[in-house]
Structure 1
């Protein structure tokens, strides 16, 4: 028996990167159906859905702009209607622009907060309305715990996501809904080493496991939290960073 046998999942921001890894790991672990959400990357999302189907899992691509709370609620309802229910939601969609705090505008702040945080609030609330029981996993970041320059809006949104998971776990637990977060470290992508060589070098020097993360690493963490193995785990933040946060800061 695979860990997610029979589950119906919605993964937001699943057109590529971490979201792709999550969707594929859910299919690999026996999910009956995976709704693949995207905002603009429709072609990439269709490729993910095709791969999900190759693994024997039903898949559909759902397009939505999650900066609008009503659209978030419609997306969750559509996924549940298509899947014949919903047992797992992974709130992965997000943006990570770089902008120095002194020059940041309120509009730039809202763009990140609405995309990263308000969507989590709205999707989770909607999922709780259609789930009889199940799991919700938010993708946060190690920047929820330690900020980086130029990421004040991003770090704040991710810290709030961690606390939202704890709050939702408290209020939805009596309904059999578990809510947790996953905080990834630096996850590799095509071209990252060329785009940011000094950052990758620093990471590899600091990481006890000596490598960058992969989308599969994050996907497996989400599989665990959605599975019966985590049936008594809620309100927790699972840091998946190869041990970087274990390094002393002095």
Structure 2
């Protein structure tokens, strides 16, 4: 069970792609720590409403907002709606929404490539820009991008995904430089393999290899990523910006030779 200490009491947060897996884990942990949470979805409407209901059932505040983050206007409208719901405030943004298709690089079209970049990178850019405009007028805030250990360690059939996540890490570092003077901190969290329902059945060999390689002996859980995001959005991380926090159970420490 997570340790609940009210680290985010009084904050208003927006979590994109909050309908399942990592997004759900982040949204629930933010709410447990006292934040009012706007949970975003594009297609996972029922699942996102379930997340909001869980937050409300425990006494928290939540609202469901839909938007297409491949469109700049959709990103700006989402941030605007979240801030209006928060009484004109938005103190934390977690850019979690993303796609991870599997495709050979040799047969990939420019359209295939662009579809991943539009969601994983361009949406992050537009949401961050819109959120920073709100935050800087209110004295600051935090933005956390969900990247991946594949930003540094590419996997076969993930060329577009790996490239987009590497770009997300560098975007955060650049944004940290430019938005820092306005009190806006920007970081990334890079997860390793996070468990989800059916993963062991769908990819038994991959799960087995991960469990053999990871020093901590297990797959990650959505709340592991939620904990990292809570930390970065909290006063405990007030002097941390432009940083990539790897949350992978130590698998990146394993020698590759």
8 A contact 1:135–1:178 mirrored in 2: yes
Q: State the TM-score, normalized to the length of structure 2.
A: 0.96
8 A contact 1:140–1:159 mirrored in 2: yes
Q: CA deviation at 1:70?
A: 1.3
Match of 1:67 in 2: 70
How many residue pairs end up in the alignment?
A: 249
Match of 1:99 in 2: 103
**Aligned partners of 2:22 and 2:13: how far apart in 1?**
15
Which of 6, 11, 14 is 2:10 aligned to? 6
- Structure 1 SS opposite 2:17: coil
Residues 1-250 of structure 1 aligned to structure 2 (within 5 Å): 2-31=6-35, 33-84=36-87, 85-131=89-135, 132=138, 133-250=140-257
**Aligned partners of 1:91 and 1:35: how far apart in 2?**
12
**Aligned partners of 1:34 and 1:203: how far apart in 2?**
33
- Structure 2 SS opposite 1:103: coil
Q: CA deviation at 1:57?
A: 1.7
**Aligned partners of 1:108 and 1:69: how far apart in 2?**
19
Aligned CA RMSD, in angstroms, stands at 0.6
Q: CA deviation at 1:56?
A: 2.0
- Structure 2 SS opposite 1:24: helix
Q: Which runs of 4+ in 1 moved over 4 A?
A: none
Q: CA deviation at 1:2?
A: 1.1
Listed one character per residue, the Cα deviations across residues 48-84 of structure 1 (whole Å, up to 9, x for unaligned) are: 0001112322111001110101110110011001111
Q: State the TM-score, normalized to the length of structure 1.
A: 0.99
**Aligned partners of 1:55 and 1:136: how far apart in 2?**
25
8 A contact 1:25–1:223 mirrored in 2: yes
Structure 2 segments unaligned to the other structure (5+ residues):
none
Structure 1 segments unaligned to the other structure (5+ residues):
none
**Aligned partners of 1:207 and 1:198: how far apart in 2?**
14
8 A contact 1:12–1:92 mirrored in 2: yes
**Aligned partners of 1:230 and 1:55: how far apart in 2?**
26
Listed one character per residue, the Cα deviations across residues 125-157 of structure 1 (whole Å, up to 9, x for unaligned) are: 000111121100000000001100000000000
8 A contact 1:27–1:56 mirrored in 2: no
Listed one character per residue, the Cα deviations across residues 70-105 of structure 1 (whole Å, up to 9, x for unaligned) are: 110110011001111100000000000000000000
